[in-house]
Chains A and B, each alone.
Chain A
Amino acid sequence: MLRQLWWKLLGAGILVIVLIIGLGTPLKSGILESFPLSAAVGETVTLDVRGYNTHFATATSQSAYLKNSEQRVVSASLIEVKSEQDAAFTFNLPTGDLASRESLTLIVNNEKDGSIILPSALLLKEGSPSNQSSTARWEPLMVNELHRSEGYRFPYRNILHETIRNTFFHVAIWFAMFILFITGLVNSILYLVRRNLVYDKIASAFTEVGIVYGMVGLATGSMWAKFTWGAWWTDDIKLNMSAIAILIYLAYLILRRSIHDIDSKARLSAAYNVFSFLILIPLIFIIPRMTDSLHPGNGGNPALGGEDLDNTLRLVFYPSIIGLTLLGVWLSSLSYRLSILKDRWILNHK
């Protein structure tokens, strides 16, 4: 089956589709920023809002709300649309016995973009007594007035913005790397049990490609970190642990190249592969869980859940894992065949 063409074409095809859909699908609308950042109770405040992928000008029914922590809202009294991306919303903030210094969530709602929100848009401060004459009141939010966005679009997340597409490459390549490493591990164990050199060659081919995948994973992660956390490399535990893991596997490559006797090479590298994989499990799965990390899934962030990986993303993310794995198997099979050719060449020229 490994010699057949269909799964290679399938893997490449899936990756092409992932690239096209993953990079081509627009994001949902969102709010980039609003100004001013704070206002006093009872004041009339005009928020200058800058949207992302929004259709303020073409939408016909526009409404905006500020929501407090008790799920009650005040709606905008005046809406001034400047362009598709820019609008100004004027709110009469109610007085009332709100706890001071509450942050309000801005909700903008129209039929083109659906309802888009900006958490902590406005900080509510205590006002001066002269402002205490506002007639506005907090009202319950009418949920059925809110529109839903339609069509196939990726979620808009603050901070992440367009980089959410990196999920298909950065996260998927770690999954694919693990599949390759596990295949290598299984073949190493098979070699130790059956002492057939074929298993050793397969194990080394898969592990080599796994190392390449790990490096690509580090590189894509580094780029992602630059655009969301602000630095190419941070002191995040997962980064350091995966770098160590890659170092351990690089030592595997050095070990293989420093032994010339084929049998002892196979035996020692298989033993080392089993050993390094078992060290790898705590490195990647246990230690990072014990400390806080900037990654999702640590320190209270949801991993692969909620808005970070919704169904629109899953539709591309899972095929991406399959495609990258198939590509990895293809590369490994090439590496395996190359090693066989090398052996044959050595035999013929002795």
Chain B
Amino acid sequence: MLRQIYSVFCQELKLDFRDITSIGSVLLFMVGATFISLKSFITLHGVGWVALYWILLLFSMLNLVMQSFKASRSSSRIAQYVYCSALSIVVGKWCYHLFYILFSGLLLFLLMSVFFGSPIQDFSLFGISLLLGSIGLCTLFTVVALITSLVPQAHLLTSILSLPLSLPYVLLCIKITIVSSGLIADTSIWSDITYLASLTLFAAGLGLLLLPTLWKS
């Protein structure tokens, strides 16, 4: 089981490096979007910075997850489906997405710090919000992509379905990040963090529960 997950993970990584377009498009999206915001906002501090950070990250995640499940329908990966169980494929993809999202989150942080300067003061809290937010959004998008992967216009539908669903996650993440930047002092921030974590567990459990009904192709 673990070996299967690991092999799916490696497979995804290998495929993405062999065909550089998807990594390249996400990178290009980030640099381009940061530069456009630099040109349009000129300066950006505090709440605006945090909001922009999460919005950019949200859209690059959406891009990534949509591409990943679209690609999995192509015939080049039929072999994978024969040898691995549905669960390990999904968990492997989830791990890969998470890795990718954390990577892009850090990259975006670097980019925005270079262009705008960083307002973050409590880096451990920021790390927690990035980690939990990535896990939560990654889980959510994976489940939604699973639901829509069988539909003809999956691209459009994934964004329509997941944007309203991702709102509570993003709102909580933005709140925690704002606290980590020292703009608001909040003593009850740990309740927000546990709340974010439990929402993620919710989504993950439900995704596992629905997996057998959705995986039929």
Q: How many A-B residue pairs have CB under 8 A?
A: 74
Closest to A275 in B: B206
Interface residues of B (CB under 8 A from A): 143, 147-148, 150-153, 156-157, 160-161, 164-165, 167-168, 188, 191-192, 195, 199, 202-203, 206, 210, 213-214
Knowing A247-B164, A248-B165 are in contact, say whether A268-B150 is a contact too (CB < 8 A): yes
Q: Do residues B148 and A268 form an inter-chain contact, with CB atoms below 8 A?
A: yes
Report the stretch among A55-63, A86-94, A277-285 that lies at the interface: A277-285
Q: Does A348 contact B (CB under 8 A)?
A: no
Knowing A251-B161, A264-B151, A267-B214 are in contact, say whether A279-B168 is a contact too (CB < 8 A): yes
Q: Report the minimum CB–CB distance from B197 to chain A (whole Å).
A: 12
Chain A contact residues (Cβ within 8 angstroms of B): what range? 20 to 34
Ranked 3 nearest A-B pairs via Cβ: A247-B164, A248-B164, A271-B210
Q: Give the interface SS of chain A, mostly helix, strand, loop or mixed.
A: helix
Q: Does A182 contact B (CB under 8 A)?
A: no
Knowing A251-B160, A268-B147, A268-B150 are in contact, say whether A244-B167 is a contact too (CB < 8 A): yes
Q: Do residues B210 and A258 form an inter-chain contact, with CB atoms below 8 A?
A: no
Q: Do residues B151 and A282 form an inter-chain contact, with CB atoms below 8 A?
A: no
Closest to B198 in A: A282
Q: List 26 A-B contacts (CB under 8 A).
A: A192-B210, A241-B168, A244-B167, A244-B168, A247-B164, A248-B164, A250-B164, A251-B165, A254-B160, A254-B161, A258-B151, A258-B152, A264-B150, A268-B148, A268-B151, A270-B213, A271-B213, A272-B161, A275-B206, A278-B203, A278-B206, A279-B199, A279-B202, A279-B203, A287-B168, A287-B195
Q: Report the minimum CB–CB distance from B144 to chain A (whole Å).
A: 8
Q: Give the interface SS of chain B, mostly helix, strand, loop or mixed.
A: helix
Q: Do residues B214 and A258 form an inter-chain contact, with CB atoms below 8 A?
A: no
Q: Do residues A267 and B157 form an inter-chain contact, with CB atoms below 8 A?
A: no
Closest to A268 in B: B147
Q: Do residues A267 and B161 form an inter-chain contact, with CB atoms below 8 A?
A: no
Q: Report the minimum CB–CB distance from A152 to chain B (whole Å).
A: 43
Q: Does A286 contact B (CB under 8 A)?
A: yes
Q: Does A23 contact B (CB under 8 A)?
A: no
Closest to A281 in B: B202
Q: Do residues A282 and B213 form an inter-chain contact, with CB atoms below 8 A?
A: no
Chain A residues numbered 240-294 whose CB sits less than 8 Å from any CB in chain B = 241, 244, 247-248, 250-251, 254-255, 258-259, 264, 267-268, 270-272, 274-276, 278-279, 282-283, 286-287, 290
Q: Do residues B210 and A275 form an inter-chain contact, with CB atoms below 8 A?
A: yes
